[in-house]
Structure 1
């Protein structure tokens, strides 16, 4: 099914959210900073379980808002019963994740079908892929006409050999997904260019096809619509996934790149909010001169924030020998019209605090050593600033 063209207001709302790194990004349906039980800690520690729990929370909120009073009461009663079963998983600490995953998947189906009967079961099947690939493959076969299910069968063959998806089945599924692009000349031509580029890995090719099918499926960034369940591909497939899901079209289509929100609350920290707000006015002004290609930049910024929280060790790689110094670039900035001096000073004042909170977060939430966290934090802040400085410079003629 083709995705309907969203109204302009939706495009603008989403674009605005991408201008800032402070996208709401709870790793689960609750604040992981306040996790206090073994079950809550296990959910927060696993991107896959976090995504399932977040999906369940989204379904539950929608159902509570839409159901009649007696149905709401029944849902709340059922949720309390389910929470007792979930919390009982703590009795076997060494099997905690294995216990939680099927409970979460089943509950996603039960609650999701109250508001999204046509998609909840498929989404729960997709979310179970990291834990039970063979069972997921069986579940996906129950959707023979779904281009999205077909793309996920291709994924299973490529990345999950234990799924049992054969080469023959994967190729038939691949052709089914490609056929779905026949009505979208632009997307098909973009995919063909990537597929025929010998420098592009096969992993990235297959993930790009998956990305395009996710775009076509009725998922949306906004919480009151179908929630993303594919976020595990970033932690499991790394570089190829980041390459496949980033800016691709150089147009408004990049607004809807299916990039998951950053894990955890790093970019909700005060210093990051201050740093982000100091750039807002200059970025907004430059956006007016950037044309539709600005949406590619927004997607890249969003992807970088996700990567910083999911794959922070990627930022331990040494930067290029001539890597720019964004702090010095801010000090050297002379055009007050494109970026007022007061805001530049605010940005400079926020840099070191942003590094510090990032380093602390990476140690506590991702297990990096002190030296690793400090190194990664410096690079995360550097790249975050450089992306926006380049954008402002290129689209305002300043710098």
Structure 2
């Protein structure tokens, strides 16, 4: 940390989203549907501000749970004072976002250091990449022997031409990152096999290197106090990122696939919760028969939820007309022992409400037209159902 004292002020101003960088406005620490003040609405309207607010809420909760009574009360008092300063930004509506961003960035670092002193500075630099790539690159160079920082410099060279990272610097950084993988022969072999595969794009190769280093860096799900900061990769790199960060190993290692949580609260809504509950018992039984390959399926499901909220237009492609209708499959199901009729009816009753909730969310949160939202919603629900029906069919001993 000492080597960053000289650049701390600028880093506070440039640090971007922590805890799901690139998350949409409704990822804020409060319910954006209930936002009432100008400040709350500004946070909810901006992915950057919303992500910062989520990060602050997460770190604040962790710190409050960790601290002894006296410093905990001091933190609570400081937070109240900070909220007053934050709310004063509303005095000039034309400069509201510009006022909030540095205040939130600084507060995230101040509170985050109470729970992640060793990593919060590096994570702040990583999170700032979409907004200040050149400054992020300069900060990452201060970690010359850090494999994760090196992998991000490779990323910057590939995807952020304004970062100033040259090809020569990227190749040196690649060597540092590969060396950091040398004590994990399996991860190293995954990367080297990808690099040698002529059918894999160079973008995918560099994203694979980044994934390997993220998995080794004690982020979620292994360390609940170090939140993912790479989530902007999914919205910025699209299908390449979804293809790279999803199921890979076909083993328990897939449980650690660095897949960010879905953006927003779509899948927390009642119809989706009802759908999930209707599958609980039959999926539990199927999972017992699936071995460790089930973790690849679980990772694929998580990735699909993320893609549905980050890139819903990916679901506008018309469904294969030869594919089975999942609702009909459920109606035709006859084995009440493996999947009781009551639970199947619960699923069927939730399908149309889930479509409507999804369509409404896509219009409000992602700006899709009514027609686009309805089409994407149908496909999202269809894929969600078929993923689980396929899993049940493959692993049902009955």
TM-score for the superposition, normalised by structure 1: 0.88
Q: Which residue of 2 aligns with 1:381?
A: 381
Contact map agreement 1:32 1:264 (CA 8 A) in 2: no
Structure 1 stretches lacking a partner, 5+ long? 1-24
Structure 2 stretches lacking a partner, 5+ long? 1-24
Question: Map of 1:86-101 to 2, 5 A cutoff?
Answer: 86-90=86-90, 96-101=96-101
- Structure 1 pair 265/213, CA: closer, same or farther in 2 (3 Å)? same
Q: Which residue of 2 aligns with 1:277?
A: 277
- Once the two structures are TM-superposed, the CA of residue 327 in structure 1 deviates from its matched residue by 0.8
Q: Which residue of 1 aligns with 2:317?
A: 317
- 2 CA distance for matches of 1:341 and 1:138? 60
- 1:106 maps to 2:106: yes
- 1:201 maps to 2:201: yes
Q: Would you say how many aligned residue pairs link Structure 1 and Structure 2? A: 374
- 2 CA distance for matches of 1:30 and 1:109? 19
Pairwise CA RMSD: 2.0
- Structure 1 pair 317/97, CA: closer, same or farther in 2 (3 Å)? farther
- Structure 1 pair 69/251, CA: closer, same or farther in 2 (3 Å)? same
Q: Which residue of 1 aligns with 2:217?
A: 217
Question: Map of 1:63-102 to 2, 5 A cutoff?
Answer: 63-90=63-90, 96-102=96-102
Higher relative contact order (CA 8 A, sep 6+): 1
- Once the two structures are TM-superposed, the CA of residue 94 in structure 1 deviates from its matched residue by 5.8
Question: Map of 1:285-304 to 2, 5 A cutoff?
Answer: 285-304=285-304
- Once the two structures are TM-superposed, the CA of residue 96 in structure 1 deviates from its matched residue by 4.6
- Structure 1 pair 46/214, CA: closer, same or farther in 2 (3 Å)? farther
- Once the two structures are TM-superposed, the CA of residue 223 in structure 1 deviates from its matched residue by 7.9
Q: Which residue of 1 aligns with 2:192?
A: 192
Question: Map of 1:239-388 to 2, 5 A cutoff?
Answer: 239-388=239-388
- Structure 1 pair 85/146, CA: closer, same or farther in 2 (3 Å)? farther
Bigger Cα displacement from structure 2, 146-155 vs 380-389: 146-155
- Once the two structures are TM-superposed, the CA of residue 280 in structure 1 deviates from its matched residue by 0.8
SS in 1 for 2:149: helix
- 2 CA distance for matches of 1:289 and 1:233? 34
TM-score for the superposition, normalised by structure 2: 0.88
- 1 CA distance for matches of 2:41 and 2:199? 41
- 2 CA distance for matches of 1:323 and 1:183? 44
- 2 CA distance for matches of 1:202 and 1:93? 44
SS in 2 for 1:114: coil
- 1 CA distance for matches of 2:254 and 2:214? 13
- 1:157 maps to 2:157: yes
- Structure 1 pair 165/83, CA: closer, same or farther in 2 (3 Å)? farther
- Structure 1 pair 129/40, CA: closer, same or farther in 2 (3 Å)? farther
Bigger Cα displacement from structure 2, 130-139 vs 383-392: 130-139
- Structure 1 pair 378/299, CA: closer, same or farther in 2 (3 Å)? same
Spell out, residue by residue over 1:142-171, the C-alpha distance to the aligned partner (whole angstroms, 9 max, x if none). 222211111111111111111111111111
- 2 CA distance for matches of 1:100 and 1:156? 27
Contact map agreement 1:105 1:127 (CA 8 A) in 2: no
Contact map agreement 1:51 1:229 (CA 8 A) in 2: no
Contact map agreement 1:220 1:228 (CA 8 A) in 2: yes
Contact map agreement 2:215 2:257 (CA 8 A) in 1: yes
Q: Which residue of 2 aligns with 1:232?
A: 232
- Structure 1 pair 103/282, CA: closer, same or farther in 2 (3 Å)? same
Bigger Cα displacement from structure 2, 296-305 vs 162-171: 162-171
SS in 2 for 1:183: coil
- Structure 1 pair 60/265, CA: closer, same or farther in 2 (3 Å)? same
